Chain A
């Protein structure tokens, strides 16, 4: 069981190294980009909800005006029989 561990330790040592220099202003630019991302996401969410509400409202008005649940009066009369 110690073989893979030893191999992994060797590779880990290979991967360890001095950390590269972080560009200046990374936090500020990331925060700005994050804010923009958040604002765009919120705007998209608001737009989606607005569209949903508008669709529901349009459907409700249409349903109240046309009463789609009532059966339309039949235009065909039953056959006249027995006289």
Chain B
């Protein structure tokens, strides 16, 4: 297979620049053990590999779209579909439910607009706001417990 052609070179440059952050997003979602301590994060890697493959499959067609947004959407959809199969790990967001993790990562970490996040996750904007507030208060370092108990 000739991978030297233009689209592949573009794709390779995109992956070189974006894969680190995308893998971080994937690890946040799967809440696998901290990769800084040498953990492998196989689920996050698998999710990212699948999302990148689907991005490459329509690489030529979506010139207008940002490939980063596109891959992140694929990643989130793939995680949402398979989240139930994977037990929570020991990552930062392990105490949150999968929808809370998705909303928190998209809204707070990635700064995606409420409406866009809602459309991507198939939720209403109100539901996204509720999940985001709940996740933020659960993640607050000190006051998290009290807020969780009250909710």
Residues of A in contact with B (beta carbons under 8 Å apart):
4, 7-8, 10-12, 14-23, 26-35, 37-38, 41
Contacts and interface: CB of A to CB of B under 8 A. Distances in A.
Given A21-B35, A28-B12, A35-B56, 12 more contacts: A4-B133, A15-B104, A19-B20, A19-B23, A19-B24, A20-B36, A20-B41, A27-B11, A27-B16, A30-B49, A35-B1, A37-B54
A7 to B, nearest CB: 5
Interface string B61-78: 000000000000000000
Interface residues of B, number: 43
18 contacts: A7-B140, A8-B108, A12-B108, A17-B36, A17-B92, A19-B21, A20-B35, A20-B41, A22-B23, A23-B45, A26-B15, A27-B15, A28-B3, A30-B11, A31-B8, A31-B11, A33-B56, A35-B56
Contacts, number: 98
Interface string B1-43: 1010000100110011001110110011000000110000100
B3 A31 contact: yes
Name A's interface SS. Answer: helix
B57 interface: yes
B117 interface: no
Nearest to B18: A22
Nearest to B27: A20
Contact of B108 (A11, A20, A26, A31): A11
B128 interface: no
A41 B57 contact: yes
A30 B109 contact: no
Contacts of B41: 20
B77 to A, nearest CB: 15
A31 B56 contact: yes
A-B pairs with lowest CB-CB distance, top 6: A34-B56, A20-B35, A19-B20, A30-B52, A33-B53, A27-B15
Interface of B: 1, 3, 8, 11-12, 15-16, 19-21, 23-24, 27-28, 35-36, 41, 44-45, 48-50, 52-59, 92-93, 104-105, 108-109, 133, 135-137, 139-141
A27 B36 contact: no
